Chain A
């Protein structure tokens, strides 16, 4: 029997749920599905959630992982919440540039900068 492990570290900082993605690589199907489920559960439990997603530990991600972020962004908006992203490594930010997703996400260099804007 396989046990689902947590891919997220969640801390509350002044009313903002700061989620640090624990995986260095967000590539494989199972990992992405588990992250999607864990984030979705977190958002579903809090109307008007203020959510900051930190990519500090992330070195790789795939288009499927990007799909999860887009779905999450929509879910947060539907629940009158706010989603911001931070600490995205230059190589990964390039993925956001190529796909022009920087246009739909609110992205900050650091978590501290993002926290000041909620």
Chain B
């Protein structure tokens, strides 16, 4: 198996799935195995699982709107130092800065809109690229 380098995206493993929530299990399973292999601590695994779930859900549901003709591409590299995951959808994109703060008194009782906030809280680095069609997630092992 070739080496991956979290700082060199050309070396990342790639998983392409249909815009189907069930399909998201495929990259999740592969990445979780890597986290265990690289002995990520329990808290770091919890963080990556949560962030990946939110990123994939956003890509399938909000980005691609579950359109069966569109795909989600997941690229990842997990080493004993850190995990980097890039999730890309084929939707119209969005402006991340326009997402309202879900903790304001008027938005707190609403059921939606917390995914990106949780991703930002749990990952060490989050970057939105290509007008929100792609999200870069990085978590250090410890």
Contacts and interface: CB of A to CB of B under 8 A. Distances in A.
B108 A60 contact: no
A113 interface: no
In terms of DSSP, what is the predominant structure of the interface of chain B?
helix
A98 B111 contact: no
Given A28-B21, A104-B108, A60 B50 contact: yes
Interface in A18-43: 27-30
Contact of B110 (A28, A30, A64, A70): A70
Interface string A41-64: 000000000000000000110111
B106 interface: no
Interface of B: 21-22, 24-25, 42-43, 46, 49-50, 53-54, 57, 102-103, 108-112, 114-115, 117-118, 121
Q: What is the predominant secondary structure among interface residues of chain A facing chain B?
A: helix
Given A63-B115, A104-B108, A28 B103 contact: no
Contact of B114 (A28, A30, A60, A66): A66
A30 B21 contact: yes
Nearest to B28: A27
B53 to A, nearest CB: 5
A70 B109 contact: yes
B21 A63 contact: no
A63 B42 CA distance: 20
A101 B110 CA distance: 11
Interface string A92-103: 000100111101
Interface of A: 27-30, 59-60, 62-64, 66-68, 70-71, 74, 91, 95, 98-101, 103-104
B43 A91 contact: yes
A98 B57 contact: no
Contacts of A68: 111
A29 to B, nearest CB: 4
B111 A101 contact: no
Contacts of B114: 63, 66-67, 99
A62 to B, nearest CB: 5
Contacts of B102: 99
Given A62-B57, A104-B109, A99 B118 contact: yes
A72 to B, nearest CB: 9
27 contacts: A28-B21, A28-B24, A28-B25, A29-B21, A29-B57, A59-B46, A60-B46, A60-B49, A62-B53, A62-B57, A63-B57, A63-B112, A64-B57, A64-B115, A66-B111, A66-B114, A70-B109, A70-B110, A70-B111, A71-B111, A99-B114, A99-B117, A99-B118, A100-B108, A103-B108, A104-B108, A104-B109
